[in-house]
Amino acid sequence: MSKNLYIKTFGCQMNERDSEIIEQLLAQEGYVPTDSAVGADVVLINTCSIREKAEQKVFSLLGQLREEKASNPNLLIGVTGCVAQQEGEHIRERMPHVDLIVGTQQIYRLPEMLDRLTQRVSAREIATDLEASFAIPPFQKLLINAPPSPTPHGFRRFVTIMQGCNNYCSYCVVPGTRGREISRPVADIVEEVEILASQGVKEITLLGQNVNSYGLTNKVAETEVGFAQLLRQVAAIKGLRRLRFTTSHPKDLSEPLMRCFAEIDILCPHFHLPVQSGSNAVLERMHRKYTVESYLDKVTKLRQLQPDIALATDIIVGFPGETEADFQATLDLLRTVRFHGSFSFKYSDRPHTRSADFTDKIPEEIKSRRLQEYQTLQDEISLERNSESMGREVEVMVESGDHAAYRGRTPVNQVVHFAADGQSFAPGDLARVVIDQAGKHSLKGRLRSEP
Ligand code: SAH
Ligand code: SF4
Ligand code: F3S
């Protein structure tokens, strides 16, 4: 008999990809995905711990599930992902109704763990070892045998190329929650992308916390292939129309990688390069291992090689000890680079990170004011950047829509809405659109009339 599985995913694309893998793994055991915890047999919360708020969301959802479990005592509740890794058994001190705790590298164990719980061989299950899962044959097979996504975005998929992080930025939980950096063998990555392309996938995003150091740190298989070479190999796979990757650490951004933006046709000229702060003093305390000057040098080189490149970034405001002058330096950096967009966050203390013990914490109201100021400036710049597209013809990869109107994205990841003009497009199709309206979050346009 089939069982209903509800997975709620928080956090980054790596977690989204892990949720897909879990769904696939459990499909083989007869679990069918549902979109609500009500009436489900198993609920899994795939958690994120990057900021305090992210973790709070997890515990508030677990709190709500207590009632669901009271009305359905057979319901199994599991916690996976970064909070599971970080808190382990402690989760049950606050949430005793949790049956299952699975760390980031142990998801391939889920079928046996759920089996023991449903057979009532055990009442509680926990697995939080941080061994490298790429080295484990069932996990490798899983990553490769992923079926096409049933979502409307099935034309666009993520492919994990590495796990973990060795950088130990002083504020960050990831090295603790995802373990040491480990690169997946090239042959497996290429095989996975080939399978996806043959299933009609048009856009691939290669995923890792620091893709620039792909192949340089711990490897599962012996390979001398660096990230730039990997990109070239993946780009050569027939059928793909767009290639992206995330995330890159500025200190490891090499010239060969920069050249890829000029030389690989299908590599989208959109680069997420998190800078975190515009102050060298703050960058040093963050343990980022680059300076504002070296970051700006790389931006200049990138723009020489690919003048159309759109840069996006991550910013933390209110890092411990951040002075008003440090914050102004971050605004200056934003004015200088004129990022197309940024994700900006208020600093929050995280467990087992060095900055949690730093003194000079910034009061909440100052952090809020700085975040507001940063975001207002970014919005102005995003609008100016988007306005640069006015009158231009852009290539849009269609995501959704019908005979009336469609929505899609440009190579630099701007959202575009356009009228269908009687034409019909499937998700993943490319349309040529002339832009006639620009907002800070999206563009509007009309189909190019045939010459
Ligand atoms: N690996 C990527 C980003 C990982 S986390 C990189 O190195 O750039 C995503 C973003 O969350 C980070 O870039 C940072 O801006 C933010 N972040 C991480 N820890 C944080 C904390 N303790 N407080 C606030 N923001 C944080
Ligand atoms: Fe966290 Fe730094 Fe690693 Fe990014 S590079 S995941 S911010 S430790
Ligand atoms: Fe969150 Fe873990 Fe990703 S902490 S951002 S889910 S690596």
Amino acid at 379: D
What separation in angstroms does the CA of 85 have from each of 48, 178, 329?
10, 8, 36
Q: Residue 278: what pLDDT?
A: 98
Q: Give the strands of the sheet with 3-9, arranged side by side.
A: 31-33, 3-9, 42-47, 76-80, 100-102, 125-127
Please report, for the domain that includes residue 420, its CATH number: 2.40.50.140
* 315 alpha carbon – ligand 1 mean position (Å): 8
**What is the end-to-end Cα distance of the chain in Å, rounded?**
58
Q: Report the alpha-carbon distance of residue 90 to residue 62 in Å, rounded.
A: 14
CA pseudo-torsion sign 265, 270, 273, 277: positive
358 Cα–ligand 2 center, Å? 18
Q: Are residues 410 and 319 in the same domain?
A: no
* Whether residue 11 has its Cβ less than 6 Å from ligand 3: yes
The CATH number of the domain holding residue 238 is 3.80.30.20
**Angle at the Cα of 87 from the Cα atoms of 86 and 92, rounded to 5 degrees:** 155
Between the CA of 165 and the centroid of ligand 2 the distance, in Å, is 6
Show the 3-state SS of the chain.
CCEEEEEEECCCHHHHHHHHHHHHHHHCCCEEECCCCCCCCEEEEEECCCCHHHHHHHHHHHHHHHHHHHHCCCCEEEEEHHHHHHHHHHHHHHCCCCCEEECCCCHHHHHHHHHHHHCCCCCCEEECCCCCHHHCHHHHHHHHCCCCCCCCCCCEEEEECEECCCCCCCCCCHHHHHCCCEECCHHHHHHHHHHHHHCCCCEEEEECCCHHHCCCCCECCCCCCCHHHHHHHHHCCCCCCEEEEECCCHHHCCHHHHHHHHHCCCECCEEECCCECCCHHHHHHHCCCCCHHHHHHHHHHHHHHCCCCEEEEEEEECCCCCCHHHHHHHHHHHHHHCCCEEEEEECCCCCCCHHHHCCCCCCHHHHHHHHHHHHHHHHHHHHHHHHCCCCCEEEEEEEEECCCEEEEECCCCCEEEEECCCCCCCCCCEEEEEEEEECCCEEEEEECCCC
Based on the fold, state whether residues 63 and 159 are members of the same structural domain. Answer: no
Q: Do 378 and 277 sit in the same domain of this protein?
A: yes
For ligand 1, atom 23, name the residue with the nearest CA. 347
Q: In this predicted structure, what is the pLDDT of residue 394?
A: 96
Q: How far apart are CA 234 and CA 400, in angstroms?
A: 26
Shared domain for 430 and 306, answered yes or no, is: no
User: Could you tell me if 357 and 436 lie in one domain?
Assistant: no
Distance (Å, whole) CA 373 – CA 129:
42
Residue 315 is encoded by which pair of tokens?
Answer: 């910013």
Indicate if 157 and 113 belong to the same structural domain.
no
User: How far is Cα 133 from Cα 117, in angstroms, rounded to an integer?
Assistant: 23
Same domain, 203 and 76: no
How many domains, in total, are found in the chain?
Answer: 3
Q: Is 53 exposed, middle or buried (0-12, 13-18, 19+ CB in 10 A)?
A: exposed
User: Residue 234 class from Cβ within 10 Å (0-12 exposed, 13-18 middle, 19+ buried)?
Assistant: buried
Domain boundary among 104, 129, 154: 129
One domain, residues 192 and 78: no
Mark whether 63 and 81 lie in a shared domain: yes
Counting atoms of ligand 3 from 1, which one is nearest the CA of 83?
Answer: 4
**Rounded Cα–Cα distance for residues 144 and 198 (Å):** 13
Task: Check: CB of residue 77 under 8 Å from CB of residue 65.
Answer: yes
Ranges of residues in the chain with a pLDDT under 70 are 137-138, 140-141, 144-153, 218-224, 450-451
Query: Which residue has tokens 């910034």?
Result: 362
pLDDT the model gives residue 294: 98
Q: Is the CB of 15 under 6 A from ligand 3?
A: yes
**Within this chain, do residues 214 and 302 fall inside the same structural domain, yes or no?**
yes
Q: Are 378 and 339 in contact (CB under 8 A)?
A: yes
Q: What is the C-alpha to C-alpha distance for residues 313 and 246, in angstroms, rounded to an integer?
A: 11
Full residue range of the structural domain in which residue 315 is found = 135-387
CATH number, domain containing residue 47:
3.40.50.2300
Ligand 2 centroid to residue 419 C-alpha, Å: 41
Q: How many angstroms does the Cα of residue 48 sit away from the middle of ligand 3?
A: 5
Q: Are 53 and 83 in contact (CB under 8 A)?
A: no
Q: Which ligand is nearest to the CA of 272?
A: 1
Mutate to test the pocket of ligand 1, among 48, 50, 86, 271 (most ligand atoms within 8 A of CB): 50
| Domain termination residue (choose one: 129, 150, 185) | 129
pLDDT of residue 222: 59
Do 54 and 163 fall into the same domain?
A: no
Closest CA to 316 of 20, 52, 7: 52
Mutate to test the pocket of ligand 2, among 13, 86, 167 (most ligand atoms within 8 A of CB): 167
Domain stops at, among 129, 163, 189 = 129
Residues 21 and 125 in one domain: yes
Judge contact between 436 and 421, C-beta under 8 A.
Answer: no
**Pocket flag, ligand 3, residue 174 (CB < 6 Å):** yes
In this structure, which residue's CA is closest to atom 4 in ligand 2? Answer: 209
Rounded to 5 degrees, what angle do the CA atoms 327, 330, 334 make? 145
User: Exposed/middle/buried for 445, CB within 10 Å: 0-12, 13-18, 19+?
Assistant: buried
